[in-house]
Amino acid sequence: MKNAPIRCPEVAWGTTLAEFVMTETTATDQQRQAARALACLDLTSLNLDDTPERIDALCDRALSPAPGIDVHPAAVCIYPRFVARARARLQGSGIAVAAVANFPLGSAPVDEVIVEVEGAIADGVDEIDVVFPFRAYLAGDHLAAGELVRQVSEVCHSGSHPKMLKVILETGVLHEAETIKAAAAVAIANGADFLKTSTGKLEPAATPEAASALLDVIGAAQRSGQRIGLKVAGGVKTVADAAVHLDLAVRCLDDAHPGNFRFGASGLLDDIVRVLGSASDTQLSADY
């Protein structure tokens, strides 16, 4: 990413996705947006009743989203207990395996979270999505919140094969823009590689204003030489929804690609496939 000053667009608090979309798009534009969204997608299944068979199906869909579509998601995102199974199924595909930790409440003791993360790493995980202790942070325990991120970061970044660490801030609960920015700064200071909006389990989840607040913090980190990504998760269900966040990311980061931007979603893939249809122009994915 470049080190030039970033000027993110102002997004009024309470703005809806529909209100933020200001320009019409052509069918080709939509296909490009869909292809880019797919390349940046963490295809997700985080249901309490997930089964090995459901995770197999998730991985198979990541490997082959639909006939005629050769673009693949960046990762699958699952519970730690399924990491070994997903790793074996996706071996050699280039699709990463991400696992959640401290999920979804962000309230587990640090030692339990570390055991969870270490187990996922032992099973072959590539990326960890850990929930920031957002309620503790709101209660004023900022040091404890940062300490959890720091310890998870040490585990993820040690050894010869560091793992990407995404920190889930639960922006809908943090609510105020300044609170979101302050919590995001704590996460970055303690080793986050990505800031992630939400678990997808609480409302509101991802919103343009929350993404804009996080991008402001990411921009400040970028100007100091750090490379921090953004993952938008929760409530992004259509290519039109995704296009709003892609536009924000491109305008604030100069570009949006799997190395600095992700979507966390399950249903989004259905609309991506609908938009792409049976198009064979897979070069659309190379538009970044």
Give residue-wise pLDDT tens across range 5-33: 334 444 444 434 434 343 445 678 899 99
CA nearest to 75, candidates 85, 62, 64:
62
Q: What is the pLDDT of residue 28?
A: 87
125 pLDDT higher than 90: yes
Q: What is the pLDDT of residue 26?
A: 66
> Mean pLDDT, to the nearest integer, of 194-218?
96
**Do the domain assignments include residue 11?**
no
**Do the domain assignments include residue 150?**
yes
CATH number at residue 148: 3.20.20.70
Domain count, the chain: 1
Q: 2 an active-site residue?
A: no
Q: 196 an active-site residue?
A: yes
For the chain, what is the HEC assignment?
A: CCCCCCCCCCCCCCCCHHHHCCCCCCHHHHHHHHHHHHHCEEEECCCCCCCHHHHHHHHHHHHCCECCECCCCCEEEECHHHHHHHHHHHCCCCCEEEEEECCCCCCCCHHHHHHHHHHHHHCCCCEEEEECCHHHHHCCCHHHHHHHHHHHHHHHHCCCCCCEEEEECCHHHHCCHHHHHHHHHHHHHCCCCEEECCCCCCCCCCCHHHHHHHHHHHHHHHHCCCCCEEEEECCCCCHHHHHHHHHHHHHHHCCCCCCCEEEEECCHHHHHHHHHCCCCCHHHHHCC
Q: Which residue has the higher pLDDT, 68 or 122?
A: 122
- With a pLDDT cut of 90, the percent of the chain lying above it is 83
> Mean pLDDT, to the nearest integer, of 215-232?
96
> Mean pLDDT, to the nearest integer, of 201-209?
94
Q: What is the pLDDT of residue 124?
A: 98
Q: 231 an active-site residue?
A: yes
**Do the domain assignments include residue 20?**
no
Domain containing 163 equals: 28-278
**Do the domain assignments include residue 14?**
no
Look-up of token digits 């963490």? 42
Q: Catalytic residue among 42, 123, 126, 231, which?
A: 231
> Mean pLDDT, to the nearest integer, of 38-61?
98
Lowest mean pLDDT, pick from 23-27, 31-35, 45-49, 208-212: 23-27
- Determine phi and psi for 273, rounding to 5 degrees: -65, -40
Q: Catalytic residue among 42, 129, 193, 216, which?
A: 129
> Mean pLDDT, to the nearest integer, of 129-149?
98
**Do the domain assignments include residue 16?**
no
Give residue-wise pLDDT tens across range 78-122: 999 999 999 999 999 999 999 999 999 999 999 999 999 999 999
What lies within 8 Å, CB to CB, of 121 at 6+ separation is 128, 155, 156, 163
**Do the domain assignments include residue 21?**
no
Q: What is the pLDDT of residue 25?
A: 53
Cα Rg of the chain, angstroms = 18
- Residue 254: pLDDT band (50, 70, 90) is confident
284 pLDDT higher than 80: no
- Averaged pLDDT of the chain: 89
207 pLDDT higher than 90: yes
**Do the domain assignments include residue 285?**
no
